[in-house]
Every structure is written in structure tokens, then in C-alpha cells.
């Protein structure tokens, strides 16, 4: 196997997993990392049943995965629920991969503005008394929270996968490059913006945007899977 194909990265499937499944059959990676926005109308392991067992499957969530209770449940209550990479570093095919799912939300934290809330408890304690014990809404659950983001900086990783883009993209956020630099990351892979591109942030950290339904290898090359 070509070493640059040992991990493949999948851009936002939005319900179409065929290109990823075809790429796994063709390139036989040790692992795949999905970059969010699945729009699941059935559990994730059912959508990916053709490749479950052929490769390790890892994921972060995108904003769409918090849109409705059923999309959320089909990911977070799926048989692959424990393969989420959000807010931790996981060793995958010999590389340390850090994950940051979700998006920046104006009502929570929208860099470079200051965060609205110190953490989730701070937010919940400032809700009207009649809402205080209600579960946090999905939209807020899918947000990137400042305290959790900062905590990630204490960890070290080779690769950072995010749904949001870093400052390499005109719609990206500089804080993601700062996070990657603090973690000693060499490469960032992100989804969300439906664009294949390569860029750079900070200390020569390479950034690869992976378009919707596209699949990229470890060098950031978009793979041809006959779609």
C-alpha cells in the first residue's frame, strides 16, 4: 500500500457515502476520517456497512449533524459513536490525530470576538429559571466552546481535523491555526466549505480543504474514485 493512502479524509458527505466507499475499496486505507455534515437518515454504521470491518472509521461532527434530533441521534447514538475525535487526540495508523467538530456560533463564541460564555455551565446558569434545567439545545451543543478549545492546546498531535476552516480560507478563523501551532500540528484537514484546496497557516502548517463528497490522501491529494 502507498503510505500516503494509509489514512484517507472524507469531505462532507451530505448523505452520499458512495465516493468514500469506492475510495476504501480502491485504496484499502488503514483508517478513514470523516470531516462532518453527514445528514443521516439512518445510523452511520448502516450507511457505511460496505466498509465497516475493512478499515477503521473515525469522525468529527459538522453543523448539519446538530440540525435535527434524528440526524444527531443517527450519529451520536450510532454503533460508531465511540469513534468520535472531538476534543481529544487519538492514535490512528501510527499518527496522532486531534479533532475539533462543530462550528463557531455568534451566540457562543465567534472569533476574533470575545466568547459570550466562559463555559456551558456559565451559559446554563444565565438562562431564565424556567429553562435552566432544560437540556441544552442541539444548536448550542454543536458550537465550539472557548474553554474546550483552549484545553485542546495542552495536547500534542501530528494532524488536526476540523469542520470549520482555519485562516487559510477567506471564510476561515485564525484561532484554528493558533490551535494547530500550540499542538505542534503539521497538517490540518477540514470540511464545511465544499472546496478542494491547499494552503498554509502559521509556522508552515499545511492546510487541506476537502470538498463535499471528495476524498483526500495524507498528502492532501484529491483521489479519483470514478464518481
Which among 56, 53, 54, 60 is positioned nearest to 11, based on CA atoms?
60
Please identify, among the stretches 69-77, 148-156, 165-173, 192-200, the one whose residues bind Zn ion according to the rule CB under 5 A: 192-200
Stretch that binds Zn ion, among 21-29, 32-40, 81-89, 126-134 (CB under 5 A): 32-40
Question: Which of 5, 63 has the CB closer to Zn ion?
Answer: 63
Region from 26-34, 77-85, 134-142, 190-198 binding Zn ion, contact rule CB under 5 A: 190-198
Q: Are 13 and 212 in contact (CB under 8 A)?
A: yes
What is the distance between the alpha carbons of residues 73 and 45, in angstroms, rounded to a whole number? 12
Contact between 62 and Zn ion (CB under 5 A)?
yes
Instruction: Kindly state whether residue 212 participates in binding Zn ion, applying the rule CB under 5 A.
Output: no
Render the burial of 126-158: b for 16+ CB within 10 Å, e for the rest: eeeeeeeeeeeeeebbbbbbbebbeebeeeebb
Question: Total residues at the site for Zn ion (CB under 5 A)?
Answer: 4
Closer CB to Zn ion, residue 179 or residue 210? 210
Burial of 103 (0-12, 13-18, 19+ CB in 10 A): buried
Is 5 a binding residue for Zn ion by CB under 5 A? The answer is no
CB of 192 to Zn ion, least distance (A): 4
From 55-63, 68-76, 126-134, 144-152, span contacting Zn ion (CB under 5 A): 55-63
Nearest residue to Zn ion, by Cβ distance, number only: 192
Contact criterion met (CB below 8 Å) for 167 and 201: yes
Q: Minimum Å distance from CB 93 to Zn ion?
A: 25
Q: How far is the CB of 175 from Zn ion (least distance, A)?
A: 17
Residue whose CB is less far from Zn ion, 156 or 171: 171
Q: Report phi then psi at 159, rounded to 5.
A: -130, 140
Question: Measured from the CB atom, is 19 or 62 closer to Zn ion?
Answer: 62
Our finding on whether 192 is near Zn ion (CB under 5 A) is: yes
CB 8 within 8 A of CB 35: no
Question: Judged by CB under 5 A, does residue 162 bind Zn ion?
Answer: no
Residue linked to cell 496522532:
96
Taking the C-alpha atoms of residue 45 and residue 28, their distance in angstroms, rounded to an integer, is 18
Residue given cell 472546496 in the structure block:
195
Report the residue number, 63 or 78, with the smaller CB distance to Zn ion.
63
Contact between 37 and Zn ion (CB under 5 A)?
Answer: yes
* Binding residues for Zn ion (CB under 5 A): 37, 62-63, 192
Amino acid at each position: 500500500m502507498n503510505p500516503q493512502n494509509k489514512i484517507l479524509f472524507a469531505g462532507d458527505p451530505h448523505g452520499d457515502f458512495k465516493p468514500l466507499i469506492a475510495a476504501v475499496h480502491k485504496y484499502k486505507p488503514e483508517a478513514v476520517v470523516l470531516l462532518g455534515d453527514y445528514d443521516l437518515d439512518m445510523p452511520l454504521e448502516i450507511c457505511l456497512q460496505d466498509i465497516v470491518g475493512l478499515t477503521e472509521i473515525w469522525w468529527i461532527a459538522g453543523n448539519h449533524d446538530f440540525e435535527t434530533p434524528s440526524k444527531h441521534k443517527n450519529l451520536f447514538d450510532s454503533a460508531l459513536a465511540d469513534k468520535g475525535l472531538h476534543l481529544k487526540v487519538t492514535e490512528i495508523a501510527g499518527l496522532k490525530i486531534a479533532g475539533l467538530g462543530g462550528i463557531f456560533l455568534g451566540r457562543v463564541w465567534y472569533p476574533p470576538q470575545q466568547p459570550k460564555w466562559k463555559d456551558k455551565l456559565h451559559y446554563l446558569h444565565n438562562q431564565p429559571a424556567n429553562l435552566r434545567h432544560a437540556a441544552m439545545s442541539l444548536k448550542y451543543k454543536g458550537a465550539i466552546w472557548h474553554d474546550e478549545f483552549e484545553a485542546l492546546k495542552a495536547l500534542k498531535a501530528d494532524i488536526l481535523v476540523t469542520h470549520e476552516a482555519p485562516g487559510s480560507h477567506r471564510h476561515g478563523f485564525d484561532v484554528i491555526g493558533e490551535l494547530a501551532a500550540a499542538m505542534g500540528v503539521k497538517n490540518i484537514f477540514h470540511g464545511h466549505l465544499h472546496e478542494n484546496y491547499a494552503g498554509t497557516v502559521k509556522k508552515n502548517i499545511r492546510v487541506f480543504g476537502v470538498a463535499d463528497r471528495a476524498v483526500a490522501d495524507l498528502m492532501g491529494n484529491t483521489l479519483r474514485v470514478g464518481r
